[in-house]
């Protein structure tokens, strides 16, 4: 990795990283802050959740909707089951999906490679910038969630499981970023990379959603990267953490290594 290039690219993407990190974290802070005032209203609406089909509740993270007792339950249902996935997908496509492809499409990558620096070093640095940005966004989510709970006297319950949830989120989108980089190398086109990576991610989410809604398609969930990221199961300790880590690590390693190998052999015209 080139530290000079790393600092330059990180500085260049500071606004993007800060925007997603601070924006999503402020939402978490707000949800934690208003929890005491909406707790009674939530309890009054529990009968509505009882009338919903079990598959529907599972699809939108409402398995525990009838037993919301603390800030963690609210954040799991209102943020981590859907909004977090959407925001982090957009962030990953914006950074991992576009960063390499933009340089290649504009032709600036060829000039960068004309310097005495190896191709694998350049791409490795781009990957490091993405992973660092991803870590910053998720770390801010953790800090603001704990801060919000502390401010209103409703501390985050089961802090270990809550941290595990964020570790899983990081591994999930590190894997998504892996196939974003791979597609960027293969296409060399910013729009195609975002379209293909976004489409693939949407298919993964649809497979997981359909599998939750219908027992007939339950087996299809295994083909989705989102299968292993189930906030409620992680928080109540029933998720298989080791298997999820192995799956995400395998996807990430394969995609990043393939991207490095293919990028080293790819023709770059000045």
In this predicted structure, the answer to whether residue 64 has a pLDDT above a threshold of 90 is no
| pLDDT at position 230 | 84
Q: What is the pLDDT of residues 161-211, one digit of tens each?
A: 889 999 999 999 999 999 999 998 888 888 898 899 999 999 998 888 887
Q: For the beta carbon of residue 269, count every other beta carbon within 10 angstroms.
A: 5
Domain with 119 in it: 3-265
Q: What is the mean pLDDT of residues 14-38?
A: 86
Concatenated DSSP letters of 196-238 = HHHHHHHHHHHHHHHHHH-GGGGGGGGGSGGGG--HHHHHTT-
Is residue 20 in a domain? yes
Q: Considering only 68-72, 113-117, 143-147, 220-224, which range has the smallest mean pLDDT?
A: 113-117
Q: What is the mean pLDDT of residues 210-226?
A: 76
pLDDT band at 70 (very low <50, low <70, confident <90, very high): confident
Contacts of 256 (CB under 8 A, 6+ apart): 127, 178, 181, 182
Is residue 133 in a domain? yes
Is residue 181 in a domain? yes
CA 180 to chain centre: 13
| pLDDT at position 171 | 96
Higher pLDDT, 253 or 241: 253
CB 141 within 8 A of CB 85: no
The count of domains in the chain is: 1
pTM: 0.85
| pLDDT at position 157 | 72
Is residue 270 in a domain? no
Is residue 67 in a domain? yes
| pLDDT at position 65 | 47
CB 166 within 8 A of CB 144: no
Enter the tokens of residue 185.
């190398």
Q: For the beta carbon of residue 29, count every other beta carbon within 10 angstroms.
A: 21
CB 5 within 8 A of CB 125: yes
């Amino acid at each position: 990795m080139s530290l000079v290039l790393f600092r330059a690219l990180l500085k260049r993407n500071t606004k993007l990283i800060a925007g997603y990190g601070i924006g999503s974290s402020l939402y978490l802070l707000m949800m934690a802050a208003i929890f005491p005032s909406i707790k009674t209203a939530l309890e009054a609406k529990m009968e509505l959740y009882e009338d919903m089909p079990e598959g529907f509740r599972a699809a939108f993270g409402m398995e525990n909707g009838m037993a919301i007792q603390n800030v963690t339950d609210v954040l799991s249902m209102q943020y981590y089951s859907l909004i977090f996935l959407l925001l982090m997908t957009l962030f990953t496509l914006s950074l991992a999906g576009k960063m390499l492809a933009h340089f290649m499409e504009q032709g600036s990558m060829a000039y960068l490679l004309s310097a005495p620096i190896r191709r694998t070093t350049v791409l490795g640095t781009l990957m490091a910038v993405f992973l660092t940005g991803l870590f910053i966004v998720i770390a801010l989510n953790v800090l603001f969630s704990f801060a919000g709970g502390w401010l209103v006297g409703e501390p985050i319950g089961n802090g270990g499981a809550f941290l595990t949830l964020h570790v899983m989120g990081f591994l999930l989108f590190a894997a998504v970023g892996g196939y974003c980089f791979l597609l960027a190398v293969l296409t060399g086109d910013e729009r195609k990379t975002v379209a293909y990576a976004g489409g693939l991610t949407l298919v993964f989410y649809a497979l997981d959603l359909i599998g939750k809604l219908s027992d007939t398609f339950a087996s299809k969930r295994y083909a989705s990267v989102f299968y292993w990221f189930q906030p409620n199961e992680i928080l109540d300790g029933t998720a298989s953490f080791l298997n999820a880590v192995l799956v995400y690590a395998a996807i990430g390693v394969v995609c990043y290594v393939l991207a490095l190998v293919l990028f080293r052999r790819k023709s770059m015209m000045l």
